[in-house]
Chains A and B, each alone.
Chain A
Amino acid sequence: MSVLVIAEHDNAVLNPSTLNTLSAAARLGGDVRLLVAGNGCSAVAQAATGIAGVGKVLLADAEHHQPQLAETLAALVVDVVRADAECTHVLAPSTSFGKNVLPRIAALLDVSQVSDVVAIESPDTFVRPFYAGNALARVQSSDRIKVLSIRTTAFDGASAGGSATIESLASTPPAQAGSRLVGREVVKSERPELAAASIIVSGGRAMGSAKEFNAVLEPLADKLGAALGASRAAVDAGYAPNDFQVGQTGKIVAPTLYVAVGISGAIQHLAGMKDSKVIVAINKDPEAPIFQVADYGLVADLFTAVPELVTAL
């Protein structure tokens, strides 16, 4: 049996989500093959050879893989799977990248996908959350090839210590992809990435405005070296960009410290952060559900408490 892991990367560096996915792959047993598809991405493949547990790095380095479009990447993965009679599993991280491409692959292979796997019980049995993490299902797949998206917070990142070889794949450009990348606007931030941050400061509806959101939370995040997050309510209200959203339909995070400021704690938000090691909640409503999951709760007006906290740290 062999496990194919699809690497998430930006043609320059491997995204840490790939390490978590590799760690899940290792639990399955079997040879682990890591597919690096991109353009000018040989450095990524080279770095990947040094990760523990990787048996072989498959490198598809071609111009048509530059934007990593779902159509092109899915077609490549299906070719790789079909060429490998041993292949039993296809894994990708459950990030925007993996969520976009993986179901397309599963459908092309005519198999079901198990989304957001948090535990691997055996090569065909997996645990996944549903209903915003309020229930966990243990599911057994009868498909010949199991397609799994991996919740990165549930698996530690694979460590260094491998010596895999690189196999280059020839890949022909698709006749017509039907989609074309026009442009990307990625906000460059000095702060750590939300999904990988060890400390997160998150704001909710009580922030009141985008201006206050930034004015109050940025100094705290700066002081703590934290990433900024937000509840859906704050995103909906336009206080914070969409990719700040922590929760059922946003990002799932599990930092060492999660500071929830002015967040009431709807179940959809809790779904995204309740696996954090330590949760601090600052809210003026003592009845806010966030206090039921917080290790340390402070009932206070955030507009005075947060600046005070910045000074005290």
Chain B
Amino acid sequence: MKVLVAVKRVLDYNIKVRVKSDGSGVDITNVKMSMNPFDEIACEEAVRLKEAGVASEVIAVSCGPAACQETLRTAMAIGADRAVLLETSEALEPLAVAKLMRHVAQKEGVTLAIFGKQAIDDDAGQTGQMFAALMGWPQATFASKVQAADGGLAVTREIDGGLETLQLALPAVVTADLRLNEPRFITLPSIMKAKKKPMEVVKADTLDIDIAPRLKTQKVTEPATRKAGVQVADVAELVKKLKEEAKVIA
């Protein structure tokens, strides 16, 4: 079973973005970029499936500028066997990414695709489900457990108020939630090994795929900031303030 793992290069999660003063977007020049944390979890899960003998090969795929090669190297250091970059300098919406991923999935004949549930830059949370729709495959989003079962997969999902388990026939799509696994620490030898793994770069505009944006960002602004309030001396003052000033408790 070949597994596709989608990885995205995003602003490191420790960095607070700044909105550009002209309102055209956020400033991400010269800041640290990393693999989207949920994609790291997706990658780890794919590699574990290979280590467990369920998957035969793990292919990491990214869409974006040449710098995404760095992110793909990280995926290979986690344990992906090879990588494909669909290179473009265009800003991509999730639908476009899903279409590019479909191209790779069909070409490679993968039977499982694992995505992060959400990228922490655009916070859209769409790509995995869109890819599943385009492929006509079943989906299990927000996965917290994936097991091979009955020739397919049993996937436990995080839902409001608890968990549910779906039995998926393959081929299928899984999107990774926080508790699916804890990604391994990347060692220096694995980084060295990743440098020798194959990376294929395909220019996205050589493929006949419509990746034009459907949404136009008119303006990006900073949200209204909350004013810091007051420090209270003790619990008694806190209770008094809540009752008499804020009037939020009786």
Contacts and interface: CB of A to CB of B under 8 A. Distances in A.
Contacts of A83: none
Contacts of B186: none
Contacts of B209: none
Interface in A18-55: none
B112 to A, nearest CB: 13
Interface string A145-162: 000000000000000000
Interface residues of A, number: 89
A274 to B, nearest CB: 6
A235 B214 CA distance: 36
B130 A107 contact: yes
Contacts of B172: 178-179
Given A130-B122, A242-B158, A267-B16, A106 B178 contact: no
Interface residues of B, number: 79
- Looking at chain A's contact residues, the main secondary structure is mixed
Nearest to B226: A293
Given A278-B242, A294-B229, A70 B123 contact: no
B168 A178 contact: yes
A187 B158 CA distance: 12
B123 A309 contact: no
A64 interface: no
Interface stretch (B63-71, B92-100, B199-207): B92-100
B178 A139 contact: no
B246 to A, nearest CB: 5
A236 B123 CA distance: 20
Interface string B108-134: 000000000110111111111111111
B52 interface: no
Contacts of A193: 160-161
A290 B24 CA distance: 29
A177 interface: yes
Given A97-B160, A291-B231, A136 B222 contact: yes
3 A-B pairs with the lowest CB-CB distances in the bound complex, closest first: A178-B138, A295-B229, A107-B133
22 contacts: A69-B166, A99-B125, A104-B129, A104-B139, A107-B130, A107-B133, A125-B218, A134-B223, A178-B168, A179-B166, A183-B165, A186-B161, A187-B161, A199-B248, A199-B249, A242-B158, A249-B120, A292-B228, A296-B246, A298-B238, A312-B236, A313-B249
Interface of B: 11, 13, 16-17, 19, 26, 38, 93-95, 98, 117-118, 120-134, 137-142, 144, 154, 158-169, 172, 177-179, 213-223, 226, 228-232, 234-236, 238-239, 241-242, 246, 248-249
Given A107-B134, A296-B229, 10 more contacts: A106-B133, A110-B95, A111-B95, A112-B214, A138-B218, A179-B169, A182-B154, A249-B38, A293-B228, A294-B228
